[in-house]
A and B are shown apart, each in its own frame.
Chain A
Amino acid sequence: MTTKTMSYYPGCSSQASAVHLDTSLRAVMGKLGITLRDVEDWNCCGASVGHVDGGHLGMYALNGRNLAAAQAQGPEDFVTPCAACYLNSHYHNEKIRGDEALKAEVNEVLAAGGKSYDGSLHVRHSCEVLVNDIGMDAVKAQVTKPLSGLKVAGWVGCQTVRPFAKTERGGNYDAYDDPKFLDDFISACGADAVPFKGKTKCCGGSVSVMSPDKTLHLMKDILDEVKETGAEVVVTPCPLCQTNLEMYQPMINEKFGTDFNFPVMFYSQLMAVAFGLDAEKDAALHQHLIPPQPVLARAK
């Protein structure tokens, strides 16, 4: 089994709405021989709205500071499980690497905090690590409680693969249009990945947080498609997707007269369960608004 250490950037949601992603991912990665070393004193990436007040350099400052901190700890790859964190870190990192003038500017900013960054790290998404460094065979090897018969809709969302379906080392880890990796994760856990065309549909992102009225219909469409597939549970890699789709179901039912009640989990939770890890301590199943346990129990 490959054992590797990587710099780990959990992102703000890891301490709040997506704490169960953080918990389960750490547990799973541990089983798979990846040591996640937290980036020292990491900060917010700016997500999809930071630019509005923060502006250009503000965003570079936030992301540059994280990368600098990671580099100070070592040259290992910079891994994050959060779609927005991945997109921002990846984007700003590539820009810094590709533009000497910009790099100088950013370092002038970082210097104010006694930090510096040379643009040499590689930013990666935890899913891509699972695909390229670990591989499904290694995942399957850890499965002790295959979730046979469980119908799962793998919902990738947007920023996990858009625009960066390509890795920083070049090459794709998947397609932005019809990504396969999540379905592979699901089948690796012994469950059935139902064919789900809405897999890259958008939940409305931060707009859903600020003005759900504008975007409830998007989530409703997604849930409709989930229902069509006959899936019992939705699995996603994206913190915001998970929160939005889970917490808004009552509001959607109210607005559209539907009766959705789909548990929305993270792939890492599914793996934790399949690996036979602790349901709460490792899989954090207790942290759902719509508890997945009953559905999971049905899996033979």
Chain B
Amino acid sequence: MSETTSRSRTIMVVGGGIAGITAAVEAAEAGHDVVLIEKSPSLGGRVAQMNRYFPKLCHPTCGLEINFQRIKKSKRISVFTFSEVSAVKGGPGGYTVTVKTSPRHVKANCTACGDCAKVATSEVSNAFNYGMDSVKSAYLPHVMAFPMRYVVDPSVVGTPEGEAIKAACPVGAVDLEQKDESFDLEVGAVVWATGWRPYPAANLTAYRWTDIPDVITNVEMERLASVDGPTKGKIVRPSNGEAPKRVALIQCAGSRDLNHLAYCSRICCLASMKHAAYVREQLADATVDVYYIDLRAHDKLESFLNRLKRDPQVNFVKSKPARIEKSEAGGPVVCGENTLTREVYAEPYDLVVLATGMQASLAAEGQPSFAADFDDYGFVFAEGDSIAAGVASGPLDVSMSVQSATAAACRAIRAVTA
């Protein structure tokens, strides 16, 4: 990846998830220089943490591989990981963007040989698996990581372990002295592709995610089902490692709720269909109950919903559960009213998956004033000067995000060529 050559015609893309990557490669392949800013150690964002996509049940890493190849082939994209935008000055055609980078403690000459991890002794929570397991304090973010470079956790800086890790690197790539840095970039357009975070399940106090181990979130389910997840893809009860027999999927866990997210997150219903499929593919005698207000499956995705409806071991209950209680055995008991039968139920389950919604990352971070025009929910309102791609602009599924990102690239190009 070359240094950016032209200044005012350069496009900055903030966020290296599927939307940011797409905006970057599409702009680059149309002949423009792009700076791609990513907060985490590697690109891929949320989709890299997904096991599979609906409705094809194919692997997100397949598309990521192609996109990473596109970035590798491109001479026009500069990628900055561990980086965030801390200030933006100027306007369309001429922005000065201040970028803040935090230390990876590993330099660009890392060959990913893994010698550092061999000598690391302490472990840190594994962010890639949403903290469901841990990794060595010197680690590769994940097997598809791009850039393919290790990270040394700040916790070992100034410790004998840190020194050992440093000494173990055959190419001297470990740098424990790295500090936060800031630098300015001149760009002609900024594309906000800052994506989303799962709505914090801890806020849904009635669903007891914090104190019932077998209540997990939909994103945790993705890791649970993933071959590189904490269980190598085995769907089990976190409490005892056993295969669940009764699974509940609870829709609108935070979404469509004026006390939490006022909007519908669009993807949760279909993601839950996928989760039903994960369970049914693995466990012959498992039954899945889907609790919902309205089943929302737009366009051809209706067919995907129908596929699950055909499975006699997947049941649908039109009800927003009121609360989850703890059984004497410590398992979750889902309580509510079945609105079609009027019966008030209290059903015990082995595993409950909360379909938590999508919250705009920027909203979660308190809408930086410099960033863009926001709507009431913290999504970037992209009909003004602001250019947004993917979920930063609203709750979208992957192909809609890519569509939005390609359009954002088009608008950005027009902004820098105007």
Contacts and interface: CB of A to CB of B under 8 A. Distances in A.
- Chains A and B in contact, CB within 8 Å: yes
Interface of A: 175, 177-178, 197
B206 A177 contact: yes
B326 interface: yes
Contacts of B205: 175, 177-178
Contact of B326 (A175, A177, A178, A197): A197
A161 B412 CA distance: 51
Interface string B203-234: 00110000100000000000000000000000
Contacts of A175: 205
Nearest to B204: A177
A164 to B, nearest CB: 15
Interface string B326-344: 1000000000000000000
Contacts of B326: 197
A124 to B, nearest CB: 24
Contacts of B211: 197
Interface bracket on B: under 10
A88 B245 CA distance: 47
A175 B206 CA distance: 12
A175 B205 CA distance: 10
B215 to A, nearest CB: 14
A197 B206 CA distance: 11
Nearest to B326: A197
A165 to B, nearest CB: 12
**A-B residue pairs, 4 tightest by C-beta:** A177-B205, A178-B205, A177-B206, A197-B326
A223 to B, nearest CB: 15
Contacts of B206: 177
Interface string B184-207: 000000000000000000000110
6 contacts: A175-B205, A177-B205, A177-B206, A178-B205, A197-B211, A197-B326
A178 B206 CA distance: 9
Nearest to A176: B205
Nearest to A198: B325
B110 to A, nearest CB: 45
Interface in B225-283: none
Interface string B45-59: 000000000000000
Contacts of A177: 205-206
Contacts of A197: 211, 326
B340 to A, nearest CB: 26
A178 B209 CA distance: 13
A197 B205 CA distance: 11
A228 to B, nearest CB: 9
Nearest to B328: A228
A178 B204 CA distance: 11
A104 to B, nearest CB: 31
Nearest to A197: B326
Nearest to B323: A177
Contacts of A178: 205
A282 B88 CA distance: 64
Nearest to A195: B211
A178 B205 CA distance: 8
A177 B326 CA distance: 15
B322 to A, nearest CB: 12
A211 B200 CA distance: 41
A226 to B, nearest CB: 15
A178 B211 CA distance: 12
A31 to B, nearest CB: 34
A207 B205 CA distance: 27
B104 to A, nearest CB: 39
Nearest to A228: B328
A94 to B, nearest CB: 19
Nearest to A221: B325
A178 B326 CA distance: 15
Interface string B296-326: 0000000000000000000000000000001
Nearest to A178: B205
A197 B330 CA distance: 13
Nearest to B325: A197
A283 B337 CA distance: 44
Nearest to A175: B205
Nearest to B206: A177
Nearest to B205: A177
A178 B323 CA distance: 13
